[in-house]
Structure formats: structure tokens, C-alpha cells
Structure 1
Amino acid sequence: MSRHLYRPGHQRQPVERLRGRKGQEQRLRRLKAHGVTCSRCGRIGTWESKQATDALPLLVIDHIVPLALGGTDEDSNTRVLCEPCHRDATAEQFGHRKRIGCDEDGWPVGDHPWSR
């Protein structure tokens, strides 16, 4: 069974994706081909969600040009990102605001007016 993704605001062109066992095999093959390093920040991560921690983030397959924006589901359009980089890259690609975390006292961290 395939899932169709559509490019918002454009003529609807379905993008076929592998699901089930073949989709899992494709994901594992891509992860092995790219290695255990995030291609954006260079952090070492893990493929296993049970082993993921703040120090060892989960690695995910990211489409360089998102399927929803007309990208293809080919190996040449993929890269491996850690979860924080994947969240940021997705926000940038779709025009969402970047998430800002909080420190242990509840104050925003990073580039936020309150933390200046």
C-alpha cells in the first residue's frame, strides 16, 4: 500500500512511497549508506530509538527537497539528520518558526529576545 503526498497549492501530483517491510528495508539501507553522523551538525547519533538520548540523538532520513514540495523519494534526495536538525530543517522548508527550548529555570535559550 502506498501513501500519496501532494504539493500544496499546485496541481496534485501523487508521490509514491514504500511502506511496510520494503519501506523499513529502504530506511535501514539509507541509514547504513549515510553513516551514523548528522549531515548538518556532525553529531554522532543512533538508528535505534531505544538507545537515543540527548547526548546520542536519534538519526532520521530527511528528504532534501520534501516530497510535499515536489521532491522525489530517491536515494539522491535523502540525507541523514539528527532529530533536532530534522526539526529545524523541516521548520525552515515549510516556513514554520524555529522551536526555542528552555533552561532548567524555564527561561528561553538560544536566540530569543528574553535571553539577550
Structure 2
Amino acid sequence: MTSTEAAFVIAKRVFHEELTQTEGARQLNEEFRLNINSAKIMITVYGKMMKGLEFKRALSVPDMSYYLARIMSENDSKYLPNAVEALWKHIAYYEKRNGVTLRSLRNLHSSYLAIVNGITSFNELSESFDEAVKNAMNLTEGQRKKRISQKSVIPKTKPVVVYVYERNPYVVAEVLARAKGVCERCEASAPFKRKKDGSPYLEVHHKIRLADGGEDTVTNAIALCPNCHRDLHFGEHNKALQADG
């Protein structure tokens, strides 16, 4: 374990009040020969990042990059927006105080800000699509088919760090309505009901992937139980459906 890795682990324990800052700094000094003041800075910066607060004493760019990567991976992105905000506050403070431009830290900040914005955009897009499907399920079959005919069969894309297809919620709703809660591949009932609305849980799969030029249409889609859906993507018989279609 490097001194940076150890500092992160100990700073995390201090943040959760399992150690005092003094105890953590002493441990880093004794086990990794870190200067006491440097150890305290590394502990303090972690706490500020988790809370989104300005910190005045900086870490090196590699250390800051390591902290951001660990915060993102260990907390499922929950604290990443705080950490990115804290980094920007530090950059603004330091540049104003010293009349310099911290290009490396700015680049690091830009990279993680893009990740934060992408996570936010993707979550918002996913929630919006789920709501659109729910609304589409409340329409009649005729109304859905009319909406389907008004939509392009080639879906648009939206940038969310990576590109995702903006699928037609009326197609999803029509396929789910057609399935009536039964997997259209194995013919078993949906394995459970959705927590938010009690509807049978099935997943809509495109026979020809949108990424391969497949159309976002009812005829190119099928409602599957999660097991069949994973099998088609990752199983040995992942081409069976296309052969049957």
C-alpha cells in the first residue's frame, strides 16, 4: 500500500469519526514516514471534498486524481459532485491568491465534472423515459399506434458522456401491453412486479440492435424476462432470436 492509498483509508476513518485527525496523522507518520503536517493536510482535504467545501492546502495532481477516483468508485458516485465542487473552490481560491493558472488541476476538474454531468443527465434521462413509458401504458392501443406512426423509426441520440438512444416510449408500452406479463421467449410469467407501480417486470429487447441499425419499432422488439434478456446478450444462444425473427 502506498502512502497515498493509506492516507485515503485513514482520512475516510477520520471522516467517519473512527479516529481523530491527530491519531490518523500519527499513524501515517509512523507507518509511512509522512510528515505530520502533510498527513494532516491529506486527511483534511478528504473531509472537505466529501462535504463540498473549499480547501486551501493542496494535494499533488496524482494524489488528487487518486482521491477523486476512489471517492467515485467507493461511494457509487454519491459524493463525487461534492468532491468536484470542492476541487473547483480550491482552484478558484489558489489562482486568485497567487495569480496563476492551475492547468493540470483544471483539466482534472473538467474530466470529473463531465462525469458528474453525465451521471446526472443519464439518471434524469432514465427517469424521464420510465415516466414516459408509464404514461404511454395508460393510452389505448389505437392511441399508442398513432403515436408510434408519428415517431421516426431511427431514434435520436443524446450526449451523456457517452451516447445513448432516445427510445420511443410508445413502442415499449405497446410491446409490454402485447406481452400481457408473459415473457415472449420462454413464455413464463414475469418473475416479479415493479415496486413503483405493481406492473409485471419484463424488459423490452430489440431483435436487431439499434447500434446495428435496427429500427425502434414494435416488430423489432420483444418483451423478455430478465433471464432471457441476459441470455440473449451474453448466453451461448444469443443469436437464436434473430434467426427466428
| TM-score, normalised by the number of residues in structure 2 | 0.26
Could you tell me which of 89, 92, 106 is aligned with 2:232?
A: 89
The 8 Å contact of residues 36 and 46 in structure 1, kept in 2 or not, is answered as: no
Amino acid at match of 1:4: T
Could you tell me which of 210, 214, 218 is aligned with 1:71?
A: 214
- Number of the residue aligned with 1:33: 178
| TM-score, normalised by the number of residues in structure 1 | 0.51
Could you tell me which of 168, 178, 201 is aligned with 1:58?
A: 201
- Number of the residue aligned with 1:17: 167
SS of 2:174 mapped into structure 1: helix
- Number of the residue aligned with 1:110: none
Which contiguous aligned blocks of 4+ residues in structure 1 show a shift greater than 3 angstroms?
Answer: none
Larger Rg: 2
Q: Distance in 2 between matches of 1:41 and 1:28?
A: 20
The 8 Å contact of residues 3 and 16 in structure 1, kept in 2 or not, is answered as: yes
Q: 1:63 to 1:86 in 2, by over 3 A?
A: same
Aligned pairs, number = 77
Amino acid at match of 1:91: F
Shift of 1:72: 0.6
Q: 1:90 to 1:64 in 2, by over 3 A?
A: same
Shift of 1:82: 0.2
Q: Distance in 1 between matches of 2:203 and 2:192?
A: 7
